[in-house]
Amino acid sequence: MTRRLRVLLLIPHLGGGGAERVAALLGQNLSREKYELHLGLITEAGAGAEPLPPWVAVHALGASRVRFAAIALLRLVRQVRPDVILSGMAHLNFLVLLLRPLLPRKTSVVVRQNASISAAMAFGNLPRGTRLLYRTCYRHADRVICQTPAMAADLIKELRIADKRVAVLPNPVDVESLRAAEPHVRPQWNGPGPHLLAVGRLSPEKGFNLLLSALAKVRLRFPQTDLLIAGSGSEEAALRSQSDRLGLNDAVRFAGHVRRPQIYFPGAAAFVLSSRHEGLPNALLEAAAGGLPIVSVPSSGGITDLLRDQPGVWLAKQITADALAASLLSALEVLRNNRRFEHTFVDQFRMERAIRAYEELIDAVYKERAH
């Protein structure tokens, strides 16, 4: 009988955004016949908000911050002795790759990049030295996973990494369940709307301050427009204060972290992506799978390539509040609550296709290092 490969998925915790969602979907769907699956949670004492099947061994390291987890992480790797490590967020990727000389020689390391590096650097909210960390660490990965060809090209150019070390893999999206769920979910909205939905961490790069400014302009034409933001983060107080200054308190609802944002799909007029920079967020893909109209700024080349000229999509010309407001107004002139679109572009991210691509990558990097 062929030995199952030991795969260690690493993520800070499971209570956050798209990267955590991808880690959970991999844990839920990678083949239990082919792989012995382990999940390392760096900063969380338990499995968190995402349910995992019983055959996934969960290891909670309980570190206060990722950067303080080096010893616990080395101890975990020596305990599990994985054939392949798959790390899912940039600061955790740095730690794993800095520890690479201390890992078992035959352990392959795959890291998943979640944002365009040039855009993240240009935004300027990353610590000094981050570019050097990227260039120093990422070249020691067996593969760096990107979500779009544009993101991969940007990474190769910025970090001068060999093309063969970069893989473009689709994010896994459970298209069928998202399309089937909406008729069975009770609407979570009040008033006539139109109702707008946004999902993401409350952090500067998500551009929710731009969205609030755009909403104030939209309500001059559509005074009943309201907005629900599903997410938590460090910017909540600042965003609430901005909402108050703009007179939007009755129009904006901060829902906090929501494990399944699709409960807000029924009744929504549109999903809005306001991020200043992104890779390819699962929240966008899940909204598309649910058929929601999409209003987006051009957060990355990959997002622009995916959404350009698609039915049911309004893509702003710039990443500004004025441009986003103009696109929202164009959309709301023709949309009503519960208008839905097929969004066939999301089919390439279907669960079975994405999981198969991840399994092929895991098998390939294992074979390369084993031989």
* Chain-centre distance for alpha carbon 180: 22
pLDDT tens, position by position, 133-176 = 888 899 999 999 999 999 999 999 999 999 999 999 999 998 88
Q: Give the span between the Cα atoms of 74 and 71, in whole angstroms.
A: 5
pLDDT score of 129 more than 90 = no
Q: How many CB atoms lie within 10 A of CB 63?
A: 18
pLDDT tens, position by position, 312-367 = 999 999 999 999 999 999 999 999 888 999 999 999 999 999 999 999 999 999 99
What token pair was written down for 169?
């893999």
Q: Give the span between the Cα atoms of 160 and 164, in whole angstroms.
A: 12
Taking residues 271-292, what's their average pLDDT? 93
Do the Cβ atoms of 26 and 9 come closer than 8 Å? Answer: yes
What is the model's pLDDT at position 183?
Answer: 60
Question: Burial of 159 by CB count in 10 Å (0-12 exposed, 13-18 middle, 19+ buried)?
Answer: buried
For the chain, which domains are there?
5-173+350-370 (3.40.50.2000), 175-348 (3.40.50.2000)
Spell 327-364 as b/e; 16+ CB within 10 A means b: bbbebbeebeebbeeebeebeebbbeebbebbbebbeb
Do the Cβ atoms of 167 and 275 come closer than 8 Å? Answer: no
DSSP string, 232-256: --TTHHHHHHHHHHTT-TTTEEEEE
Predicted structure pTM score:
0.89
| Cα–Cα nearest to 117, from 66, 76, 155, 77 | 155
What is the model's pLDDT at position 46?
Answer: 47
What is the model's pLDDT at position 184?
Answer: 59
Q: How many CB atoms lie within 10 A of CB 195?
A: 24
Q: Give the span between the Cα atoms of 278 and 300, in whole angstroms.
A: 6
